[in-house]
Amino acid sequence: MGKTVLIVDDSNTMRKIVSRSLRQAGIDFDQILEAADGQEALDVLGANKVDVVLSDINMPNMTGLEFLKAKAEDDAIKDIPVVMISTETGADIIDEAKSYGAKGAIKKPFTPDLINETLGPLL
């Protein structure tokens, strides 16, 4: 069965760029799902089988960190790996994200190679 990725970012542009970068990195997903904030992401995870999540941090409604916290409290989805993709990649915020279960972080702007290096080991 093919793999599914969920891209979480309030910017439609950035969701398209991440999707394009996955293709350029040679990472082939059968299904690419999108969400515009943390709450939408929780809804998508509740309704779909997702293999990995790429999430922004700085989003309205529910931030990436709030999303991680809520996800960690839900047994049905807590083990789905999440990689943060954000301009916010200071050590303090990344440490906080990892304490809520994030598996890695990619700084914007990014290259397809960096996506591949970070995401590859999780698939």
Chain residues that interact with another protein, rule: CB under 8 A? 10-14, 16-17, 20, 58-60, 86-90, 107-111
Smallest gap from Cβ 68 to another protein, in A, equals: 19
**Cα first-last separation, the chain:** 13
Smallest gap from Cβ 78 to another protein, in A, equals: 28
Dist CA 123 CA 108 (whole Å): 21
**Residues 30 and 4: beta-carbon distance below 8 Å:** yes
Smallest gap from Cβ 108 to another protein, in A, equals: 5
CA 1 to chain centre: 21
Between 4 and 19, whose beta carbon lies closer to another protein?
19
Between 11 and 31, whose beta carbon lies closer to another protein?
11
- The SS3 call for residue 59 is coil
